[in-house]
Amino acid sequence: NAGVTQTPKFRILKIGQSMTLQCAQDMNHNYMYWYRQDPGMGLKLIYYSVGAGITDKGEVPNGYNVSRSTTEDFPLRLELAAPSQTSVYFCASSYEGSLGANTEAFFGQGTRLTVV
């Protein structure tokens, strides 16, 4: 059981380039999330999704886009990379519990992105 898989693990981008961070989960979770973690800091929510075809902004969505065409995949798109987007990006998924609340999240190993 692979859990949450993120690719790539590392990437260096030049300012203005674009890229897509891939995230896939095989646990049939309906909720998926993208977080960024800056050095020595906590996690900030970029975007999240409660199911295929539904996405919503978190606290730091500017400069990013997402899509959720299937339950399994939740890619994160950077259109015009900026140095401020240098960070470690984590994808996570969770499922809806019996009372309608989501339960614990399962995390990928992260993508370390540097924009120069």
Nearer to other proteins, 33 or 85 (CB): 33
* 101 belongs to the binding site for other proteins (CB under 8 A): yes
Instruction: Give the span between the Cα atoms of 43 and 28, in whole angstroms.
Output: 24
- Which residues sit opposite 13 in a β-bridge? 115
Residue from 7, 19, 58, 73 binding other proteins (CB under 8 A): 58
Shortest approach of other proteins to residue 113 CB, angstroms? 15
From 18-26, 64-72, 75-83, 87-95, span contacting other proteins (CB under 8 A): 87-95
Q: Which residues contact 111 (CB under 8 A, 6 or more apart)?
A: 6, 7, 8, 9, 10, 11, 21, 88, 89, 90
How far, in whole angstroms, is CA 79 from its chain's centroid?
A: 15
Shortest approach of other proteins to residue 17 CB, angstroms? 25
**Which pair of tokens denotes residue 102?**
């989501």
Residue from 34, 36, 48, 66 binding other proteins (CB under 8 A): 48
